Structure 1
């Protein structure tokens, strides 16, 4: 069934009515506590303030790990179990960001190609059309919704009027499963764990609207957007009497294409909206292109086929001619969207893009695209000076609980990024406290507002924050604050506020050597 949001609950679509309440609960306790605490004027004073926060009895069974380093002097201002391996949640996206910037460059744009497997004679393609995805996670998202029309228009401009063969939607450029290593099976129908496909479209999300029937006892209505992404459906969802509570259940078993809709929706209920993972993004993309070809007057004699790994496909396209191409936004823009929103598809596809392009990585036997991307990441971290034992990353998003990182490794990565030519790209991509992204409701009315630029990470029992802050004395700091194994008591501050408070203490710090 649709799971309760264990990661970043205020971002889950069905919780939209309580977004404002959640954000207020997250930000206000941290603001109140920080305003009541004068900024420390010495390192010893800062250490005492942080120690007091993390030493509270409610954290007795939890694990804190913290590292704070000055970008100006290189000195460590504070450490607490900074070499302890902890689950990073979405702060792991910083590693993927560093890898993609290093391997691909800030201006790299990911192509999606339309290929002709045959000769074009008098407007007739004596072969098949191939829609080749190469990992663009933004295809069909805001700003690129007309991608199919663009490709169809380019094909028409090349004189194609009739296609004798099939339309093949091929996402086999990424060799490996469509989910990241360590992703939990129960998450795979959810909008935050969509398939990582080389031929992604509309962020691989299908929007589901559930509306009551005309009278109690009638079936409820289910609408899907995009319509092409409607899964096989077993409909047992009925309309109940007016005034009764809604009981809407949507369930798709891992590895199954069938969506089961059961329960009830009240006759007087407003429409209810949900977001689910698409079953087959490549098929949806193919259907959208087929419609665009028809709109452009290009007749397809064959059928729509989809090619997934391990069927192969991409390697056999070397002799095919290119009819058209659309390009993603520049990598800097993909990263900004991916980090601001903590968009898992964007970062996983970037990791896979590195793995698919970097054929110089030494391997023995078969290695999938994800593992090649991880090997490239390990090479980069070794160059930075981050020990392999300090960063155990298996995928590109932070969804996996097998990911383990030390606070020192995170801070060393941040220090490295701050010294690169693309340092400003990283800073601009990070959420800004109280201003945008996943930190829009955090640390307002504090010295951290519009100051802290950091990646947050949250899942059940895990709360992390890693990024940059400028102190009250003007010193630039890199920090990683990681809280694991914490089960919040009912009377304790809301989720994330404890981590926020430490960031505010850093912003308040008035000392400087």
Structure 2
């Protein structure tokens, strides 16, 4: 079987390679269109029902808090329990996008460099070669391959010194959210030198009763094998995966009975700088330039830049993050914004606190962001405060153009053709937490801003205590919560149609 992995496919694989709603948000729509229902606000049944009836019909344990306001005037239109702080989940990424773009600028880009500590004489680099990260959270193997080619095109055939990797442009963190299970690919390490969202691709096939396995760093055109991650198949029932660090190596085991005939998934990387160096070394060797094994360094020495890669601009990166909900993108952007504000790298909790203070000062709100991605369920913000953040004119101008469209769907989750309103928003999903926040443009041209938070924190705590990747009841709960969001949005689009 041939696999083609574009940048979009790498992003999408973060959704499809895991069987949990903690990051892989269930699709809001199917691909089937459905006929436009009765959307006349005077006759439509949905326009006549109350929000209390919609909430009751959703049958959700826990708390539902929402607020709808006029985006221009701030007039409160509807609200329920809007002052209760709840986990915003990936709605946090909307806050992070605003924080990063307003702090760093919409055209900011991340620079990954190759440095040399000595001259090149007759094709020999007389010194050390350094792969130095600049915090780019979206750096992928194809881009690293282009950097390798720049290096080889310089005519260098070998180096006399060490091959070093530097990842301290941003502080290292072993996991975004430590309470999560070890094997979840959406909860990788964070650092200043990242590759493939700090995930390694594990693939297995069974033939003649035996498995062949591979750990690689695949992308659109490359599939280099990885040596800083290893996998063993073991005979046991549970747990399905175990992880241990053995020096520079991520050591994994997987239960044989869980594999089936073939399959694959992305696993997190805990040594991201060495992982990037490992892949660079493999690709350089394939082009005829042998390098020693990579070594991490904590400080950059005096060195000359010999090649570099510039990321896409921050606005494009944030649009992609808001669409695919990539956690590492959010953490990298948020940490870099904080570093710019305070003049030095801050650890993730302190950086999240910096973003919290920034939001409070701009929008006169009370919040508590524990990270930049929303992966932690410790974060708290109320629906009314999230609306206040989104209603700021700067937020509207910055976020509205890059938030994803949320199609309206019927009771069978089929897209309603020609629905008379446009919704752009950020979704958020954890087990027993479902959130949505953004903007509605009504048929009459009015602009609304909304936030819908739902959370059953007791059920979530029980699932975490049991160590369940997908706790019993979570799929149905989250599906009903998303249906609640749809019904509220459709009701609002019909009832509140005042012109801008």
Q: What TM-score, normalized to structure 2?
A: 0.79
Structure 1 residues 154-163 or 483-492, which shifts more? Answer: 483-492
Q: Is 1:261 equivalent to 2:254 in the alignment?
A: yes
State whether residues 174 and 190 of structure 2, in contact with CA within 8 Å, keep that contact through their aligned partners in structure 1.
yes
Displacement after TM superposition at 1:193 (Å): 0.9
Equivalent residue, structure 2, for 1:507: 493
Contact 1:464 1:482 in 2 (8 A): yes
Superposed displacement of residue 39, structure 1: 3.1
Asked if the contact 1:210–1:221 (Cα under 8 Å) also holds between the matched residues in 2, the reply is yes
Cα RMSD, aligned residues only: 3.6
Q: Secondary structure at the match of 1:506?
A: helix
Residue 236 of structure 1: which of 221, 234, 237 is its match?
234
The change in CA–CA distance for 1:356 and 1:178 in structure 2 (over 3 A counts) is farther
1:431 corresponds in structure 2 to: 404
Q: Residue 259 and residue 292 in structure 1: after superposition, are their counterparts in 2 closer, same or farther (change >3 A)?
A: closer
Question: Whole-Å Cα distance in 2 between the matches of residues 503 and 445 of structure 1?
Answer: 13
The answer on 1:396 being equivalent to 2:372 is yes
Of 418, 426, 433, 1:455 maps to 426
1:128 deviates by 0.9
Shift of 1:57: 8.4
TM-superposed CA distance for 1:168, in Å, is: 0.6
| Partner residue, 1:67 | 67
1:497 counterpart SS class: helix
Within the candidate set 498, 510, 513, 2:484 is matched to 498
What SS class does the counterpart of residue 112 from structure 1 fall into? Answer: strand
1:53 corresponds in structure 2 to: 54
Name the residue aligned to 1:383.
Answer: 361
Could you list the per-position Cα deviations for residues 472-493 of structure 1 after superposition, in whole angstroms to 9, with x for gaps in the alignment? 3321111000111176699886
Assess, with a 3 A threshold, how the Cα gap between structure 1 residues 39 and 27 changes in structure 2: closer, same or farther. farther
CA distance in 1, matches of 2:228, 2:476: 43
Secondary structure of the 1:358 match is helix
Which residue does 2:195 correspond to in 1? 201
Report what 1:288 is aligned to. Answer: 279
| Map 1:320-335 → 2, pairs under 5 A | 320-335=303-318
Q: How far apart, CA to CA, are the structure 2 residues paired with 1:76 and 1:430?
A: 23
Residue 39 of structure 1: aligned partner: 41
**Residues 110 and 134 of structure 1 are in contact (CA less than 8 Å); yes or no, is this contact kept in structure 2?**
yes
Kindly indicate whether residue 129 of structure 2 is the aligned counterpart of residue 135 of structure 1: no
SS of the residue corresponding to residue 253 of structure 1 reads strand
| Equivalent pair of 1:231/1:279 in contact (CA under 8 Å) | no
Distance 2:377 2:442 in 1: 33
User: What TM-score does the superposition give when structure 1 sets the normalisation length?
Assistant: 0.77
- The separation in 2 between residues aligned to 1:234 and 1:270, in whole angstroms, is 16
| Structure 1: runs of 5 or more not aligned | 1-7, 17-21, 239-246, 362-366
- Following TM superposition, by how much is the alpha carbon of 1:90 offset from its aligned partner in structure 2, in angstroms? 0.8
Structure-2 separation of matches of 1:350 and 1:54: 36
* Equivalent residues, number: 452
Q: 2: CA distance between counterparts of 1:289 and 1:74?
A: 52
Distance, in Å, in 1 between the alignment partners of 2:196 and 2:13 is 22
1:337 maps to 320
Structure 2: gaps spanning 5 or more residues: 1-11, 21-25, 218-224, 460-472
Give the superposition deviation at 1:196: 1.7
Asked if 1:273 is matched to 2:281, the reply is: no
- Cα deviation, residue 79, structure 1: 1.6
- The 3 A distance-change label for structure 1 pair 224 and 232 is closer
Per-residue CA shift, 1:317-336, capped at 9, x if unaligned?
A: 3x221111101111111111
Cα deviations by residue, 1:248-293 (Å, 9 ceiling, x for unpaired): 9641337673211223378xx6522222112323222112222343
State the 1:230 CA deviation: 6.1
Question: Quick check: 351-360 or 129-138, which moved more?
Answer: 351-360
Greater mean alpha carbon deviation, residues 269-278 or residues 160-169 = 269-278
Give me the whole-angstrom Cα distance separating, in 2, the residues matched to 1:429 and 1:506. 22
Which residue does 2:296 correspond to in 1? 306
Which of 457, 465, 477 aligns to 2:436? It is 465
Distance 1:112-1:448 versus aligned 2 partners, 3 A rule: farther
Partner of 1:406: 382
Q: 1:284 to 1:408 in 2, by over 3 A?
A: same
Partner deviation per Cα, 1:189-221 (whole Å, 9 max, x = no partner): 211112223211122222222222313xxx422
Secondary structure in 2 matching 1:74: coil
